Amino acid sequence: MYIHGNGNPDGTLVNAILAICKDSLSGIGGKIRPGIVHRLDKDTSGLLIVAKNDKAHIAMSEQIKNREVKKTYIALVRGIVKENEATINMPIGRSEKDRKKMAVKRDGKQAVTHFKVIERYKEGYTLLEVIIETGRTHQIRVHLSEIGYPVAGDEVYSNGKNPFGIHGQLLHAKKLEFNHPITGEKLLLEANLPKDFQDIINSLTKI
């Protein structure tokens, strides 16, 4: 499932959640994002956390604030990444040229992204596992584009290039690790890649 962001009131994840949970969601997010503890970029697939009550919402927000929630993504990027693994530590803030975009800025907020190569492909793409320490808006997309490896299909940070003709960037929130906000139990949640993402990977030739 891809997430539809602001300006798309119908067919959103929130609509689906409300249909299932009725009135049992945390009210902290207000009417627009009831129960939503953290967000995914528009047209990014995968996992996110939804709280069913305020107590759980507050506890989860604290874990995220304290960087106790481990978020792992899968990204297909343009270009052959040379390093097997690396860390990007570049501050991110609102772009001065386009207020709808984010950018690496000296006076921005700290943003730390770790990545590891899963596979390289002859067609000029690399599949990455990405773990973020911070949760800045568009962080993964901005960081990877900044070092010359934009996420495939990203119309905002990839100069509009979309060779696969897909809707949305090939970025997937694969795994979440955190403590249950009520019981304290350690949880590990995983979501498989969407079919279109997996089909594209299957169509590529490994180096």
| Residues known to be catalytic | 41
Residue found under tokens 């590990």? 188
3-class SS letters over 97-166: CCCCCEEECCCCECCEEEEEEEEEECCCEEEEEEEECCCCCCHHHHHHHHCCCCECCCCCCCCCCCCCCC
Pick from 169, 153, 110: nearest CA to 135: 110
d(CA 168, CA 166): 6
Give DSSP secondary structure letters for 43-92. Answer: T-EE---B-SSHHHHHHHHHHHHTT-SEEEEEEEEES---SSEEEEE--E
Q: Are 113 and 87 in contact (CB under 8 A)?
A: yes
User: Bridge partners of 88?
Assistant: 113
